[in-house]
Amino acid sequence: MSPASQQWLAGLAGDGFAAERRAALAAALALADPDAALPDDPVEQVIVTVRALTGAEPNAAHVGLGRQPLWCGPDSGSGLAHSCDPSTGRSGVTGSFLAGGSGAQLLTAGGVDLDELLETRPWGRSLREAVQAAETELDWPARVEFVVEHGRPIIVRITRASLHGAALLHAVATRYERGRLTRAQAVSLVEPRDVDQARSAAVPSLELPAAARGLGVSPGIASGTVVFSAAEAVAARADGEQPVLVLTESRPPDLPGLLASTAVVTERGGQTSHAAVVARGLGLPAVAALVDGVLDAEAKVLRTTRGDSVRAGDLVTVDGHAGVLHLGGRKRSSAERRAALELPGWLGDALSALPGIAVRVNADTGADAAAGRALGASGVGLCRLEHMFLGERHQVLQRVLMARPGPDMTEDLATLHMLLRAEITDVLAAMDGLPVTIRLLDPPRHEFLPDLTELSLTTAATSAPADRDRLDITRRLHERNPMLGVRGVRMGVLLPMLTAVQIKALAQATLALRRAGRNPRPELLVPMVSASAELDFVRGMLDDVCAHLGTSPAEAGISLGAMIETPRAALLTRSIARRADSLSLGTNDLTALVWGLSRDDAEQHLLPAYQDMGLLAASPFALLDVEAVGTLARQVADEARAVRPDITLGVCGEQAADAAAVRFFAEAGFDHISCSPPRVPLVRLAAARAALAHGAADMHRAEAGR
């Protein structure tokens, strides 16, 4: 070691450092080879030590041989360089350098940016050329570990850079557009979470404090000012604000507020709550089931267990990925919000030519259907008629549900029919030539009835006969557990006139479009089926309505399907499949009924506690329960195909949009998966990746069998 290096080392590690290290090395060498002597020359020391270790008997020496990058010296140091920016993927050498430090110290203590050093240090140009050459050799952004010894860069290790999010998309796009990656190769390199990460700016980078945590029920990140009612959200939007709507829980009348909001937070609820479903359909970030926040609606303040208070007008950021409400933030423009939902053009091009399970969209309006089609959806997998009666329209359905037979009910049914026909026409027209699954009304009835407590107080205060009458009807229709009560086909059986009106609206919309030269492809779906006789009931009504219109379901092109969302329906798949043209697996309700859990309540306290205790890895409402629900799903597919090989099998529900679930349902033999418009691109990507992986596995098995 030169005198300058000795002086530098003594200043860094102390006068006795070199002697102590030499003594330790000599002792280790003596254990491996008692006859070996430690030379003075450093290179010879390495040679002798390696010979002793490799020639020794097993377990003869308790010494391991590792590689330590050179970095000693007054003009030396360690660095890490990338051939692109790891956060964006943009070309250009970036990295950090620690003078007089090792690679381990660089990782723990950090260093200075390479940007200026590459231009000012004598070794900068050589390092830049080496990093660029490494990328050319790998044909991928390179990660280069290096040291500088006496002003000369020495490359220690070169590996492929590990990129995610926007950086990965940029790297893949560059190579795909230059023809260096095939469609299949490009898609195989990109995971849905990379697209999801690239869509939104990361909240942690903003260093915003967390105000409350809950369940992320609709992905995305958005900032805005807090409001505590739907009316306040509408007013704030009219004033040019970006409101974040905070509610105890949302109900159908709150739809105008949801439409006006940039994000939603509810104290209660879960993955399948009203707010979660609507927010996903609208592409709004949403957090529900707060575990450390309590809303005081009268005082208009959200209080947290840490003592924080979120008040009306406060600027907050909602992270629908992580399920966190942050204090502060930056408001995004409308253009930025729209761009966040778009799939990169090159990736859409690559996906369009690749196989995979079909991806449909959940669409309750013509605008939703058009948005899904623009994002690559192959049809509508679920059109929920009850969602056409949110907001002010909920009163129309409420009057029908509470009406007694007579002129008033006839008038209300006529109004409902008119609204349904117009909305169904818009959806079918937007998806012209593609299949549209339209589900009969399946409202949790309590969401469309007056609040029993509020109505009781009003009636006690007014004693008005009309209020007493409404209270009597509400009490009669009130259910202790409405999610297990009169909903879906059950309501249609009890109110056959309501079922007939829905079918008539669908048939008339279909026939009108056909006369106009369009190609509507409606599929009528019956929810909450538990007995094959229920499907027979609806089939009979469909035949009767079409006959009254001078046609038949076959001539009108209306098929009939059943939702498999009760365990009984899953167990009786063969009987139901014989009567149906299609089956749709509803994973939300099926999961709730298999587990015996409330969809709205379990995710607030029970499931988070189970996850914290290690009893569950994830909520079954977020990730598909392959062990139980998945077993039923496979059974449904197998038994349906056994009696109707040509039957169409679909899946709708939040778990269905997860990448692992997409792969599962594709392998199980389902034909399509349906999800909200913003998730269509991600599910298309997951479907293509699943098909490519399945094809590669088949090829591997074929080659192994030769």
Residues marked active site are found at 274, 652
Q: Which two tokens stand for residue 570?
A: 């899953």
Q: How far apart are CA 267 and CA 290, in angstroms?
A: 5
Q: Which two tokens stand for residue 233?
A: 């959200």
Q: How far apart are CA 60 and CA 48, in angstroms?
A: 16
Torsion of CA 566, 571, 576, 582, to 10 degrees: 70
Q: How far apart are CA 396 and CA 443, in angstroms?
A: 13
Q: What angle is formed at CA 420 by the lines to CA 419 and CA 425, rounded to 5 degrees?
A: 105
Q: How far apart are CA 132 and CA 127, in angstroms?
A: 9
Alpha-carbon distance values, 209 to 15, 227, 246, 247 (Å): 47, 19, 18, 21
Beta bridge partners of 170: none
The stretches of 486-531 forming alpha helices (DSSP H) are 489-494, 496-515
Instruction: Tell me if residue 561 falls in helix, strand or coil.
Output: strand
Alpha-carbon distance values, 68 to 21, 98, 102, 147, 553 (Å): 14, 16, 9, 11, 77
DSSP for 108-119 reads HH--EEHHHHHH
Q: What angle is formed at CA 666 by the lines to CA 660 and CA 669, rounded to 5 degrees?
A: 140
Residues 6+ apart with CB under 8 A from 307: none
Q: How far apart are CA 88 and CA 211, in angstroms?
A: 29
Exposure of 164 by Cβ count < 10 A (0-12 exposed, 13-18 middle, 19+ buried)? middle
Taking residue 451's Cβ as centre, other Cβ atoms within 10 Å add up to 12
Exposure of 167 by Cβ count < 10 A (0-12 exposed, 13-18 middle, 19+ buried)? buried
Please state whether beta strands 221-227 and 315-319 pair in parallel, antiparallel, or not at all (unpaired). Answer: antiparallel
Cα 47 to chain centroid, rounded: 55
Q: Which is nearest to 695 in space by CA: 193, 188, 181?
A: 188
Alpha-carbon distance values, 549 to 49, 191, 553 (Å): 95, 50, 10
Q: Which is nearest to 350 in space by CA: 173, 89, 170, 88?
A: 173
Q: What secondary structure letter does DSSP report for 516?
A: T
Q: CA end-to-end span of the chain, whole Å?
A: 61
The answer to whether residues 650 and 160 touch, using CB atoms and an 8 Å cutoff, is: no
Q: What angle is formed at CA 390 by the lines to CA 231 and CA 237, rounded to 5 degrees?
A: 30
How would you classify residue 363: left for phi > 0, otherwise alpha for psi between -120 and 50, otherwise beta? beta
Residue 389 CB-half CA count within 13 A: 29
